[in-house]
Amino acid sequence: MSRLAVYPGSFDPVTKGHLDIIQRAARLFDFVIVAVSNNSAKRHTFSVSDRIEMIEGSIRGLPNVDVDTFSGLLVDYLRSKKSHILIRGVRVVSDMDYEFQLASFNRRLYKEVETVFLMPDEQYTYLAASMVKEVARLGASVDPFVTPVVARTLKRTLKRSR
C-alpha cells in the first residue's frame, strides 16, 4: 500500500522553510499533497490561486508532490484523500504549544490520524511567512527566504496594494 501524506498550511506565501519540509516529506512518503487552506475566517495576503501557483512554481522536480486546496475541517479532507498522515513543520520548541494542541484536536476528531513533525534545516528556524512579507514591504531583498516565483508575486502584490 502506498503512503500518502498531507502537508496542510496557509503558505501565505510558501517560504524556503516550507519547501525544506516538503522535500523531507517527499523523501519519507510515497506521495505528498501540499494542501493550501482556504479558510474564510483567516485573512490572507494572497489568494488561494496565487498561493497554489507559487508552490507549484517552487516544487518543480519533485514528481511525488501535488498541490491542492481544502476548506472546512482538515480531518474531512484527509478522509476524502484516504490519508491518515499529517505533516507539520516545527521550527522552535515554542511552535509545539500550538502544534501539540492542533495534533491532539485532530486525533480527537479522527483517531487514526498520525501527525508527523519535521524539523527544517537550522538556517530556516527563524523563517516565517509574515516576516518575509514585512521584509518585502520595507523594500529589502527576499531572495534568501523565497524562490524567484514567490519574490516576483510578492513584488507585484505589494505594488498593487499600495
Q: Quick check: 23 binds ligand ADP (CB under 6 A)?
A: no
Binding residue (CB under 6 A) for ligand ADP from 4, 5, 6, 17: 17
CB neighbour list of residue 123: distance below 8 Å, 6 or more residues apart: none
Q: Which residue is nearest to ligand ADP (CB)?
A: 17
Q: Quick check: 13 binds ligand ADP (CB under 6 A)?
A: no
**Angle (deg, nearest 10), helices 129-137 and 148-161:** 60
Hey, what's the cell of 53?
501557483
> 109-142 b/e with 16+ CB inside 10 Å = b?
ebeebebeebebeeebeebebeebbebbeeeeeb
Q: Report the residue number, 68 or 95, with the smaller CB distance to ligand ADP.
A: 95
Q: Quick check: 29 binds ligand ADP (CB under 6 A)?
A: no
Q: Report the residue number, 113 or 120, with the smaller CB distance to ligand ADP.
A: 120
Q: Quick check: 120 binds ligand ADP (CB under 6 A)?
A: yes
Binding residue (CB under 6 A) for ligand ADP from 4, 5, 6, 9: 9
Binding residue (CB under 6 A) for ligand ADP from 4, 5, 10, 151: 10
Give, in degrees to the nearest 5, the angle at Cα 33 between 152 and 105: 110
Look-up: residue for cell 502584490? 157
Closest CA to 5 of 78, 62, 59: 78
Look-up: residue for cell 496565487? 50
- Shortest distance (Å) from residue 148 CB to ligand ADP: 18
Q: Quick check: 21 binds ligand ADP (CB under 6 A)?
A: yes
Binding residue (CB under 6 A) for ligand ADP from 53, 56, 68, 95: 95
Write out the residues near ligand ADP by the rule CB under 6 A: 9-11, 15, 17-18, 21, 88-89, 91, 95, 120, 124, 127-129
